[in-house]
Structure 1
């Protein structure tokens, strides 16, 4: 079984590295244009599972000058929330309603850490989306790469279809305790339904520098090599003649197909017209 997917691109300084050499650098979700994208959403009952005792101590220190016995109580406790309340009582202070809000803020910082442990290559099922050409190919002046993946391809198992929903996937304490294996997939590959026009698929990988720091040189670029997967190019309706000629010349030498995107005279649609002499 094969799957054809597309990637809209603009002509940045290093564009030939991706278009001609097939070198693709996965992106960090921290810099995606959707602030919810790849964001881990946890139910309230998971707070104690998500945060360590050191996090509770850090939050306590904002309210109370802790003593040695306070640290010992927290670090040895099997019921962390009860231990926190005892510490407040021992200091003659009322347990503040803002305490868990402070912890949730700390947990939010952890969310960025989790996001940055993932790297993503964004692809689409379609090459003729007016909005995608406008948003990701610099107002139709860029190009689109067609990739073909089959079941024997090394990246095939890393391909995931994005699900579009109204509600976020909330991870519960039960999900963690039962070791649900689809948590990452449901988080990294779920988006708000307003993005459904993108018809997105993703290659999901690790941020190797972060998840395997002892095995990876920090200066190393973690890239995918997709040259053999490239089958065709689609040229934007407003592409510059210089870049158009370069892609056509490369395609002739490397047995690739080239299509020119054409604006319809009667509708708001795009159509792809094959360039015959390639």
Structure 2
């Protein structure tokens, strides 16, 4: 299955060409994505006495419980601990949300793609407008091979009206799985994107300084690139170097030029023969 990554290049510095030529895919921390709800989950606003006792007892045995490694080290009785949690639960809850949000950014990076086979023509126009510099950029087609899936995880985003809920006193393994689900859940408002995410660990990526800023890249197998579509407004100084590279490298990459349909709110793609 071919999936697509839309790329804008406002300063026209040849980012798409670099992605194809160098085999480096830019990846980002989830906090850098454009949705402020990225990876957010919820915790119940109250906790029962039974849950408090469960939290304390489990924490004595397994410091991973509720992501509180210091719980097992606190020297006080179970009843004193339970009373303290009852008094401080709102504060504990807020701090857990902050800590987990920070930990998420230190572990995972991601790149976004769209399954355009599931997108209607009107929404496709939105993706070009939002992510490809108002149709001046390009769309890269990828056929990701799962034979090297130890290095990454490709997941479909789930669209829902509710966030994932994690309980403070929940089983640590279950909570860890729920956290991963939170990374793949977004509001139904974004469903037009039909998004897939390539998740990678930070230590599997390469860091580079670009314009004074530290950016991360994943060195992907170059056979993944299967096509390049040029936006309807893509300028020749972005388009021609890519065409020249594909021609000279003789790589089996399909090239197409997008244009506006004559009567509908849709795009037409014409193959570029080289």
Question: TM-score of the superposition, structure 2-length normalised?
Answer: 0.75
Q: 1:22-45: per-residue Cα shift (whole Å, max 9, x none)?
A: 201321001111111112333354
Query: In the alignment, is the contact (CA less than 8 A) between 1:28 and 1:118 conserved in 2?
Result: yes
Length, aligned pairs only: 239
Which runs of structure 2 are paired with 1:163-182 in the superposition (5 Å)?
163-172=158-167, 176-177=171-172, 179=174, 182=177
Structure with the greater alpha carbon radius of gyration: 1
C-alpha distance in structure 1 between counterparts of 2:170 and 2:82, whole Å: 24
Can you give the 5+ residue segments of structure 2 that lack an aligned partner in the other structure?
Answer: 56-64, 206-213
Name 2:96's counterpart in structure 1. 107
Q: 1:87-118: per-residue Cα shift (whole Å, max 9, x none)?
A: xxxxxxxx97xx43333332232132133021
SS of structure 2 residue aligned to 1:20: helix
Deviation at 1:236, TM superposition (A): 0.5
Query: In the alignment, is the contact (CA less than 8 A) between 1:27 and 1:120 conserved in 2?
Result: yes
How large is the Cα RMSD of the aligned pairs? 3.2
Deviation at 1:241, TM superposition (A): 1.1
SS of structure 2 residue aligned to 1:152: helix
Name 1:37's counterpart in structure 2. 38
Deviation at 1:222, TM superposition (A): 5.4
Name 1:259's counterpart in structure 2. 256
C-alpha distance in structure 1 between counterparts of 2:80 and 2:66, whole Å: 12
Q: 1:42-85: per-residue Cα shift (whole Å, max 9, x none)?
A: 33548954363859xxxxxxxxxxxxxxxx9x533435643527
Question: TM-score of the superposition, structure 1-length normalised?
Answer: 0.74
Q: 1:142-190: per-residue Cα shift (whole Å, max 9, x none)?
A: 0010001234344796111111111111123575345366424411111
Which runs of structure 2 are paired with 1:1-278 in the superposition (5 Å)?
3-11=1-9, 13=13, 15=15, 16-44=17-45, 45=47, 49-50=65-66, 52=68, 74-79=74-79, 81-84=81-84, 99-116=88-105, 117-126=107-116, 129-154=124-149, 158-172=153-167, 176-177=171-172, 179=174, 182-208=177-203, 221=216, 223-253=218-248, 254-276=251-273, 278=274
Q: 1:185 to 1:228 in 2, by over 3 A?
A: same
C-alpha distance in structure 2 between counterparts of 1:178 and 1:80, whole Å: 27
C-alpha distance in structure 2 between counterparts of 1:53 and 1:179, whole Å: 17
Q: 1:171 to 1:180 in 2, by over 3 A?
A: closer
SS of structure 2 residue aligned to 1:76: coil
Query: In the alignment, is the contact (CA less than 8 A) between 1:40 and 1:111 conserved in 2?
Result: no
Q: 1:176 to 1:42 in 2, by over 3 A?
A: farther
Name 1:88's counterpart in structure 2. none
Q: 1:158 to 1:79 in 2, by over 3 A?
A: farther
